[in-house]
Amino acid sequence: MKALTLTATNRVEFLEVPIPELTDPHSLRVRVIATSICGSDLHLAAGHLTPEIGFALGHEWVGIVDEVGANVRSFTVGDRVVGPAAVWCGSCELCSRGQEQRCAEGGVFGSGKGMGNLGGAQSEYLIAPWAENTVVRVPEGVSDAQALSVGDVLSTGWTAVRQVVSENATDLLVIGCGPVGLSAIHTASAAGVAKIVGVDRLPARLEAARQLGATHTVLAGDDVLTELRQVLPGRTLSVIDAVGTQESLDLACSLAGIGARIAVLGIPSHALTVDMAGLLMRNVTLWTGLGDLGHMSELLEKIARGELDPTPMFSHTVTLAEVPAYYELLAAGDPSIVKVFVSMS
């Protein structure tokens, strides 16, 4: 089979590798039918998250069950399924404390030996471990693109919304309208948040933000803080930083009001600083962490009922063969790309 492999820093190539064998009774083998390129894939390719090379990339996938482990009872060959970017066993000490995304027996697809040594989703087949805990059947009427979103970005954006939007909050500021920021906007809109403000440097992403529920959008520039203070004159109680730079974190802290909550989802490429005294004097809570991927079924049900439709974030549909070129375009900051949907058909 073909597997997109990180062969050197910022260089990805398709290699011919054996189809993985199903040896674990708790796992499924899946023929991948849809995948995507995530921002964290670019971080991996650039060496920001691990110094490793030589592993297959990709952690977002929808597939058809090809083979079923002996202890798996919930799935049969031919089922269309989606899985999380990171898997968990459900029984270790970390899982028992609700930290499934850091499961001692788990890992992240397409992220190398240091993150579980799982295969990559930008491949024709993969093994899905702990299938009874983590894999979900895709309901009829839910498209591959809609289902693809729940395994990472939609779940991650919704996690941040649940962290920062309290019963007292009537507005939400989302800094960065990439796929995770857009997912936060979309799930907050479905939850009934009255004012949702999206900020980004790219007009294409702000257009997607409006389609997905943003009530106000601001094009980031030299006067972004002034413009945002006009839209949010009393500051805000809910802020999501989906960029992860010093500039975006400073902006989030500047606009957080008394008792505000800030969630940082963007992955920094280097250490950041924060004015802790300034946050302390305003009783601001700062949260960061991985997305809670244990609610995929609930999100799929919302999509099936028409309460959510994340498809506007997919700006480009490409084939697997085109993926290396899109790594280059994304790394170069192509302003037209919001999120790439990769169809294996």
Domain ranges of the chain: 2-152+293-343, 154-288
Which two structure tokens, joined as six digits, stand for 139? 């309901």
Query: Residue 323 belongs to what H/E stretch?
Result: helix 323-331
Q: Which amino acid is at 228?
A: L
Task: State the architecture of 154-288 in CATH terms.
Answer: 3-Layer(aba) Sandwich (3.40)
What's the CA gap between 86 and 100, in Å, rounded? 9
Q: Could you write out the DSSP letters of every residue in 249-297?
A: HHHHHHHEEEEEEEEE-S--SS-----HHHHHTTT-EEEE-----TTHH
Question: Which residue shows structure tokens 């983590």?
Answer: 134
Alpha-carbon gap, residue 67 to 81, rounded angstroms = 13
Q: For position 254, what pLDDT does the model report?
A: 94
**Residue among 219, 151, 149 nearest 186 (CA):** 149
> pLDDT per residue over 253-264, tens digit each?
999 999 999 999
**Beta bridge mates, 126:** 30
Mean pLDDT of 266-294: 92
What is the identity of the amino acid at 331? A
User: What's the average model confidence in pLDDT over 62-89?
Assistant: 97
The mean pLDDT value for 300-311 works out to: 97
Segment holding 126, helix H or strand E: strand 125-128
Give the distance from CA 95 to its chain's centroid: 20
Strands (E), 158-284: 171-175, 195-200, 216-219, 236-241, 256-264
Instruction: State mean pLDDT over 206-221.
Output: 97
Contact between 16 and 2 under an 8 Å Cβ cutoff? The reply is: yes
Model pLDDT, residue 278: 93
Res 234 pLDDT > 90: no
Tell me what percent of the chain is helix, strand and coil, each rounded to the nearest 5.
Answer: 30, 25, 45
Strand duo 195-200 + 216-219: pairing? parallel
pLDDT band at 167 (very low <50, low <70, confident <90, very high): confident
Q: What is the pLDDT of residue 157?
A: 97
Classify domain 2-152+293-343 at the CATH superfamily level.
Answer: Medium-chain alcohol dehydrogenases, catalytic domain (3.90.180.10)
CB 335 within 8 A of CB 204: yes
| Segment 326-344 mean pLDDT | 95
Mean pLDDT of 177-193: 96
Nearest to 118 by CA among 146, 138, 88: 88
Which pLDDT does position 241 carry in this prediction?
97
Contact yes or no for 168/176 (Cβ under 8 A) = no
pTM given for the model: 0.93
CA–CA gap between residue 105 and residue 60 (Å, rounded): 20
The pLDDT of residue 326 is 96
Rounded Cα distance between 257 and 261, Å, is 9
Residue type (1 letter), 307: E
pLDDT of residue 268: 85
For residues 24-34, average pLDDT: 97
What is the per-residue pLDDT for 267? 83
Phi, psi of 194 (to 5 degrees): -70, -45
CA distance 162 to 173: 14
- Cα–Cα distances (Å) from 106 to 87, 131, 289, in that order, read 5, 12, 17
Please check whether residue 240 is in contact with residue 249, taking contact to mean a CB–CB distance below 8 angstroms. no
Half-sphere exposure of 81 (CA within 13 A, CB side): 28
Q: What angle do CA 271, 277, 282 make, to 5 degrees?
A: 115
| Per-residue confidence band for 101, with pLDDT thresholds at 50, 70 and 90 | confident
Same topology, domains 2-152+293-343 and 154-288? Answer is no
Q: Average of pLDDT values for 134-142?
A: 97
